[in-house]
Amino acid sequence: MAQIDFRNKINWHRRYRSPQGVKSEHEILRIFESDRGRIVNSPAIRRLQQKTQVFPLERNAAVRTRLTHSMEVQQVGRYIAKEILSRLKELRLLTEYGLDELTGPFESIVEMACLMHDIGNPPFGHFGEAAINDWFRQRLFPSDAASQPLSDDRCMVKALCLREGEEPLNDLRRKVRQDLCHFEGNAQGIRLVHTLMRMNLTWAQVGCILKYTRPAWWQGEPPASHDYLMKKPGYYFSEEAYIERLRKELSLSPFGRFPLTWIMEAADDISYCVADLEDAVEKRIFTVEELYQHLYEAWGHHEKGSLFAQVVENAFEKSRSNSFSHSTEDQFFMYLRVNTLNKLVPYAASRFIDNLPAIYAGEFNHALLEDDSSFSQLLELYKNVAMHHVFSHPDVEQLELQGYRVISGLLEIYQPLLQLTTEAFSELVEKERIKRLPIETRLFHKLSTRHRLAYVEAVSKIDRQSPSWPVMEFYFRCRLIQDYISGMTDLYAWDEYRKLMAVE
């Protein structure tokens, strides 16, 4: 394992207009303060206030949105980071690990990664992701491109069909078909930060949101050594060159992860597990008493002094001792959250430190809070109760199905832009209005300027005489549509769908 020196990981340089020369502790902190400002003030963060956490299109302001959830994750991430730094200080390891002058940036990178961790999520969460992927799979059939060219290839896009004797162009077609059918919120987050919003964050800050290390065009099983880290797609073909540069700048192995990303992941796991249950009580899916019963039964074998007794039972008893019955709910969740954090945060910190050589190298193939411990069991308890009693609730399932239909419907509405030939779409982009294409012209006008500019810039780098031009042009056109629809808030997507389907 490489020697642990965080000065080689907390890279404060940027892709463009990067600070130069040697910097003092104060100057480095200011660079990361600039990152904080860029992130907090970005439109992508503001849009999180109208994106789903669990309950789509929720009017009750007490129920979490992606933004309030992300703020809670930010606080937990900060808590874990501080706990790690305090322990390393007690062990007199801060200087040895190159962290003595980087404690401020260490905390800031974790906090801001926590705040940003959901910015790539489409409207209606995982159902929005599923709708995008299903829609593209039903038109591109990536499985038909897995082997040699097939006479019965079902791909509906002529430019992407494999053809005899056209390797390596067929490899590119395979890659593009696979990539477009694996939309993922984390990968979209990387694309937002770098390509669409040009936030020009430090390498370390972007590295911390690269949660999964699998390319979206990956086919087959990931290597066993990295199967957890490659559980989902982490970035798209469109950002391949940027991620290659990121790996170089942060000294990451091909499928390795940035060390502080494990902290962000643990903070998210801790936060959403309790939050989903609290929101379910707020929505009257069950009462606190019913929730406690669900948790008690799902835990299994009970012993005095068990982690369940220290965390859940303790919270329930304290809340019931309160003389004001109307505040029992608030009291229960306050104690449940405090008790959970007081147990899981120190455990996450100790797991980080105990496994630091593998984590620093980016090769620790697990989550911090996934092991055989009772701490992991507690998190699983929360997740299982939410799965069985919240996500399977008829109201939640109906809203998710509506969300799926909205996103599928919007893709259907914008399909005419994808059915144009490369030449016709290029002409539309250039002229912005074509008389013989009235529907396509109006749909094109509805796309946001930011997304259109990203498309124009991407295709301007491709040689139009190259055999790959039609493939890559169509690829970036699909990205344009995915960028636009995934960037909508739940409410905007809902309203847009109803307007364009003429149901108002």
Which residues form the catalytic set? 69, 117-118, 268, 442
Residue 188, CB-side half-sphere exposure with 13 Å CA sphere: 28
| Nearest residue to 210 via CA among 125, 117, 122, 123 | 117
Alpha carbon distance, N-terminus to C-terminus of the chain: 62
Alpha helices (runs of H) in 183-239, residue ranges in sequence order: 185-191, 203-207
| Nearest residue to 334 via CA among 314, 350, 349, 308 | 314
| Nearest residue to 133 via CA among 170, 171, 187, 179 | 179
Six token digits for residue 391: 């996500």
Q: Locate the DSSP E strands across 91-235.
A: 214-215, 233-235
Give the C-alpha separation, 1 to 381, whole Å. 35
Give the C-alpha separation, 292 to 230, whole Å. 35
Give the C-alpha separation, 159 to 444, whole Å. 21
- Cis bond before residue 394 (omega within 30° of 0): no
Q: What is the 3-state secondary structure (H, E, C) of 77-114?
A: HHHHHHHHHHHHHHCCCCCCCCCCCCHHHHHHHHHHHH
Give the C-alpha separation, 257 to 275, whole Å. 27
Evaluate whether 70 touches 118 at the Cβ level (below 8 Å). yes
| Nearest residue to 198 via CA among 459, 20, 450 | 450
Six token digits for residue 136: 């593209």
> Can you count the helices (H) and strands (E) in the chain?
23, 2
Give residue 110's identity as a one-letter amino acid code: V
CB atoms within 10 A of CB 329: 16
- Is 491 in a helix, a strand, or coil? helix
